[in-house]
Amino acid sequence: MNAHPLILEIKNIDVRRGGARVLDVPQLSLRQGHILCLVGPNGSGKSTLLLTMCGLLDRTQGELLFKGLPVDGRPSMLAYRRSTATVFQEPLLFDTTVYDNVASGLKLRGLPRQEIRCRVEHNLERFRISHLARRAARKLSGGEAQRAALARAFATEPEILFLDEPFSGLDPPTREALIDDLERIFRDTGISVVMSSHDQTEALRLADVMVVMRQGSVVQTGSPEEIINFPIDEFVASFVGMGTVLKGKVVEALQDTVMIGVGDQRIECVGEAATGRQVILCIRPEHVTLALPGGKDSDSARNNFTGTITRIISMGHFLKVQLDCGFFLSTHITHQSREVLGLAVGGAVLVSFKATAVHMIAHA
Amino acid sequence: MDLIVQGVWKAVVLLVTFDPETWSITLLSLQVSGVATLASLFIGMGAGISLALADFRGKKLLVSIINTGMGLPPVVVGLFVTIMLWRNGPMGFLKLLYTPGAIILAQAVIATPIVAGITIAAIQNLPRNLRLQILALGATRLQMIWLLMREARLPLLAAVMAGFGGVISEVGASIMVGGNIKGYTRVLTTATVMETGRGNFDIAIALGIILLLLTFAVNYILTLVQQHDRPR
C-alpha cells in the first residue's frame, strides 16, 4: 500500500464563462499529506481550478473524486465541504470576536459547546493569537486576520486544506512569519494541502508538488526541483525564475554533451540532441560565476566567456547583473562581491558556468 | 402664539390622562403599521435575498424596478389598492375596502419595495467571496443565508426602520382605502389630517407628538438591537 494514497482527484474539468473556456484540466490528483501548489501568472486559472477542487464553483463539467468516491449532488457536496476547509486571499472574517470566528465552522456542524471551546483554544494557540480571542475581528491587522482565518479553517480539522493566495495581501515580514508557522503546522498535522500562488518562492518552499498553469491549462506538474531544474518550456523557465533563457541550435553532438550555437558563441551543455535541432537553454543565475579579466578561468566550468556588464539592478538583498557575452546572460551577486570586484556598467568580466548548469529544452 | 401654547397644553393633557380615543387610535396605528411592516419583511427580505444571490438575465432591470418602487407615492398605491378592492374589482370579493385589513395591504405594498431594495443593496455590499467562504466552512444553504443576514444586520435593520417609518407616517393610502372611520380605521395620520381640517389644532398637535414619539421609540429599540453585541 502506498504511504501517500490519493485523497483527491479531478478529471476532465472544463469551466466556461460566457462561452469562453477558462479552465481545461484533464486530470490532476493530490496525495494524502502532500502540499500541492498551483502557480502561474494572474489570470492563468489557478484560483478557478482551486475553487473547482474545493467544490465551490458552479457550472463545472467534470468529476471530483474524494478518496475515490465521486462528489456530486447536494448531500455529498456538503459532506465534502465539511471534510475540507478553504482560506481565501482576504481573511473574510465575520463581524464578531476572533473566538466566535474560529468557532463558526464548528457551530455550523452543531458540535457540543465543550468540544468547540477545546478546539478553538487549541487553534488560537497554534496560530499564536490566543491573546486576541476577545478582540473584534474587524480590528485585526492583516497578518492577525489571516491567522484567525487559518485558525478557523484548522478548527474544523479538515482532511484537505485549500489556500487561495493566502499570503498575497501581507507585507514581507508578516508573510515570512506566517509561512514559518504554517510550514511547522503542515508538518505537525500531516494535512493535505492545495494552495495557489503567483509567487514561485512560496511554492518552492512549501510544495511537494508544483503545478504550473497558463491560460487555464496545466503546463507542467512535478516536484519543485524538477520544475526548477527541468522546466518543460520557455514559459515555465521564465516563470520559475530561470535567469537566462536562450534560443540556439545544436551544432555538434559530443560524448555526453552537445555544443549549442547561440549567436556567434558556442555553449556546451549536458544532454542529447541531434545536430541541427532547435533548442532552448536555461541557465539559473546562481550557477553563473563572475571573475575579473586576467584571473584564472574556472577549472571545472566548460563554458567560459568574456562579457560586458550592461546593467546592474538592485533586488534588495542582492544585485542582478545583466551581461552581454555575445548572448544575453543574467546572474546574481551580493553587494559585497560588487565592491570587491569593482563591477560597474560597461566593465568587462570573465563569465563561467558548468555544462551541467545548462538545462536544454528541445523545441517541439 | 396662543394657538401653539394651547395646542401643546391640550396635547399634554390628552397624553397624560390617557384619553381613550387617542389611545385607541395610537394602538390601531401601531398594529396596522406593525403588521404591514412584518409582512413586507417576509416578502421584501425574502425576495431581496433571493435576488441578490441569484444570477440571471434581466436581474439589473428587476432591481431597478424595485428601486423605483422604493419611492412609490402612497396615493398611487391607495388608488391602486382601492380599485383592486372595489366592490366589483378583481379582489372585491374579499370585502376588505374600508377595513384595517385594507390599510395593512396598502401599507405592505408601500413598504415591500423599500425593504427589498435595501436588502438587495445590503447583501450585494458584502464581500464577493464571503458566500463561498461560508459554504466552504460547511454551511447548508439556509445556514449560509442566516450568516449573510447576520453579517448584513446593520443595513437590514435599517431596512426595517425605513419600512416602518414609511408606513406609519403615510396618510394618502390609509385615508383612501381605510376611509378614516371613527373607532375602526382611524389612525394617527388620518386623524391628524381631519382634526387639522376642522381647526382642532390642539388635538392635531397632540396626535402629531404621539406619532413622533412612537416613531422615535420604535427606531430607538431597533437601533439598540442593531448596535447590540458589536464587539469593541
**Does residue A298 carry a pLDDT above 60?**
no
Enumerate residues 6+ apart whose C-beta is below 8 A from A15: A21, A22, A23, A24, A48, A52, A57, A59, A60, A61, A216
Q: Locate B27 and state its grid cell.
A: 394602538
pLDDT score, position A349: 92
pLDDT score, position B151: 94
A136 touches chain B (CB under 8 A): yes
Query: Would you call A97 and B229 a contact, using CB atoms and an 8 Å cutoff?
Result: no
The average pLDDT across B118-132 equals 94
The average pLDDT across B3-23 equals 83
pLDDT score, position A26: 92
Q: Which residue has the higher pLDDT, A233 or A108?
A: A108
Picking from A56, A94, A156, the nearest residue to B135 by CB comes out as A56
Q: Which residue has the higher pLDDT, B202 or B125?
A: B125
pLDDT score, position B229: 60
Q: Percent of chain B having pLDDT more than 90? A: 72
What's the order of all strands across the beta sheet hosting A217-222? Answer: A84-87, A160-164, A192-197, A35-39, A209-214, A217-222
Residues A38-76 pLDDT 10s: 999 888 999 999 999 998 987 678 899 999 999 988 888
Query: Would you call A135 and B231 a contact, using CB atoms and an 8 Å cutoff?
Result: yes
The average pLDDT across A169-181 equals 89
**Does residue A151 carry a pLDDT above 50?**
yes
Nearest-Cα residue of chain A relative to residue B130: A92
Query: Would you call A108 and B139 a contact, using CB atoms and an 8 Å cutoff?
Result: yes
Burial class (CB in 10 A: 0-12, 13-18, 19+), A121: middle
Highest mean pLDDT among A103-112, A190-199, A283-292, B3-12: A103-112
Picking from A90, A97, A105, the nearest residue to B138 by CB comes out as A105
pLDDT score, position A1: 46
User: How many CB atoms lie under 10 A from the CB of residue B222?
Assistant: 16
| pLDDT-wise least confident of A280-289, B30-39, B69-78, B118-127 | A280-289
A105 touches chain B (CB under 8 A): yes
A134 touches chain B (CB under 8 A): yes
How much is the mean pLDDT over chain A? 89
Residues B143-195 pLDDT 10s: 999 999 999 999 999 999 999 999 999 999 999 999 999 999 999 999 999 99
Q: Percent of chain A having pLDDT more than 70? A: 97
| pLDDT-wise least confident of A87-91, B157-161, B175-179, B227-231 | B227-231
At residue A320 the predicted structure's pLDDT band, cuts being 50, 70 and 90, is confident
The average pLDDT across B44-56 equals 93
At residue A33 the predicted structure's pLDDT band, cuts being 50, 70 and 90, is very high
**Does residue B232 carry a pLDDT above 60?**
no
The average pLDDT across B182-211 equals 91
ipTM above 0.85, yes or no: no
User: How many CB atoms lie under 10 A from the CB of residue B16?
Assistant: 8
pLDDT score, position B9: 86
Return d(Cα B11, Cα A183) in angstroms, integer. Answer: 73
Q: Locate A327 and state its grid cell.
A: 548572448
The average pLDDT across A168-188 equals 90
The average pLDDT across A34-38 equals 95
Provide the 8-state DSSP code for A256: S
Query: Would you call A81 and B135 a contact, using CB atoms and an 8 Å cutoff?
Result: yes
A104 touches chain B (CB under 8 A): yes
Q: Are B106 and B173 in contact (CB under 8 A)?
A: yes
Return d(Cα B115, Cα B160) in angstroms, integer. Answer: 7
The average pLDDT across A265-293 equals 88
Query: Would you call B147 and A94 a contact, using CB atoms and an 8 Å cutoff?
Result: yes
Query: Would you call A96 and B231 a contact, using CB atoms and an 8 Å cutoff?
Result: yes
Q: Are A129 and A151 in contact (CB under 8 A)?
A: yes
Q: Are B186 and B27 in contact (CB under 8 A)?
A: no
pLDDT score, position A364: 54
The average pLDDT across B197-210 equals 89
Query: Would you call A82 and B138 a contact, using CB atoms and an 8 Å cutoff?
Result: yes
Picking from B138, B143, B232, the nearest residue to A136 by CB comes out as B232
**Does residue A101 carry a pLDDT above 70?**
yes
pLDDT score, position A181: 93
The average pLDDT across B105-126 equals 96
How much is the mean pLDDT over chain B? 91
Return d(Cα A331, Cα A325) in angstroms, integer. Answer: 12
**Does residue A95 carry a pLDDT above 60?**
yes
Which residues of B touch chain A, with CB atoms under 8 Å apart?
127, 129-130, 132-133, 135-140, 143, 147, 150-151, 229-232
Query: Would you call B138 and A78 a contact, using CB atoms and an 8 Å cutoff?
Result: yes
The average pLDDT across B74-80 equals 95
Tell how strand A244-253 and strand A257-262 pair up. Answer: antiparallel
Return d(Cα B145, Cα B153) in angstroms, integer. Answer: 12
pLDDT score, position B196: 93
Enumerate residues 6+ apart whose C-beta is below 8 A from B69: B112, B113, B114, B116, B117
Return d(Cα A266, Cα A252) in angstroms, integer. Answer: 10
**Does residue B124 carry a pLDDT above 50?**
yes
b/e per residue, A85-112, with b = 16+ CB within 10 A? Answer: bbbbbbbbbbbbbbbbbbbbbbbbeebe
Single out the residue of B25, B36, B69, B10 nearest to residue B160, CA to CA.
B36
Query: Would you call B137 and A152 a contact, using CB atoms and an 8 Å cutoff?
Result: yes
Q: Are A281 and A272 in contact (CB under 8 A)?
A: no
Query: Would you call B230 and A136 a contact, using CB atoms and an 8 Å cutoff?
Result: yes
Picking from B130, B136, B139, the nearest residue to A86 by CB comes out as B136
pLDDT score, position A231: 83
User: How many CB atoms lie under 10 A from the CB of residue B64?
Assistant: 11
**Which residues from chain B sit within 8 angstroms of residue A78, using beta carbons?**
138, 140
**Does residue A296 carry a pLDDT above 70?**
no
pLDDT score, position A59: 60
Return d(Cα A21, Cα B74) in angstroms, integer. Answer: 50
Return d(Cα A141, Cα A120) in angstroms, integer. Answer: 20
Q: Are A166 and B129 in contact (CB under 8 A)?
A: no
pTM: 0.81
pLDDT score, position A273: 86
**Dihedral, CA atoms, B125, B128, B133, B135, nearest 10 degrees?**
90
